[in-house]
Amino acid sequence: MNDAKMLTVIDGPMLAAAFPVQHQPAAMLAGLEAARLLAPQQWTERFAVRVESETVLIPARLRFASQRLALTESDEAWCFARALQTRSNDGFERQRATRDLLKDLRPWAAPFVVALIGEYIVEILEDISAAMTPEVERTVGGFITHNAAFWNTTKCRMTSYWNVYYRSNRSSECRRAWARDEYVGFELVDRLEAAAYGTSN
């Protein structure tokens, strides 16, 4: 599911490829704005997922020199730019951007949220869990049903990060430990699989 090529030069059209074609006017503007904010040195891969019946290519990580968008919330492109900022190398910015996306989660934004479930910042997982209305669950569940391989990879990553960082206090990175049945990542997986498949693990 990955675009194996390591990218070192990233531009607006490349970033706009993270969104379905029907959104391209706003996506291109968002891509150009996000590219303007990138640090000169970049290295990332992209992952491919199916969204709105087409394949999109989403950057694994983006290194921003600045997070300050010239766009405002009233601009159609703003939410697309915020989606790209969920791929920031800055975890605090990933969290802020995710909160913005979750206020009105669109189907094209679902892969950006799902990707974060497979990452290590538990506070972002808690934000996603807190935003889980039935409508959000349906939106993300619909994405999962069309991206089973990506979802399975995400679940494996979430489990690995829990095991390393949050399973016990032996890790120097761990602020507290959670048993498997207490950890928000597993709760999210169960809720989203119930939404996608009508069952839970």
Cβ(50)–Cβ(147) below 8 Å: yes
The burial of 157, by beta-carbon neighbours within 10 Å (0-12 exposed, 13-18 middle, 19 or more buried), is given as middle
CA–CA distance, 184 with 178 (Å, rounded to integer): 9
Give pTM, 2 decimals: 0.90
Cβ(98)–Cβ(119) below 8 Å: no
Cβ(116)–Cβ(94) below 8 Å: yes
| Tens of pLDDT, residues 32-61 | 999 999 998 888 899 999 999 999 999 999
Is residue 175 over pLDDT 80?
Answer: no
How many of the other CB atoms lie within 10 Å of CB of 145? 12
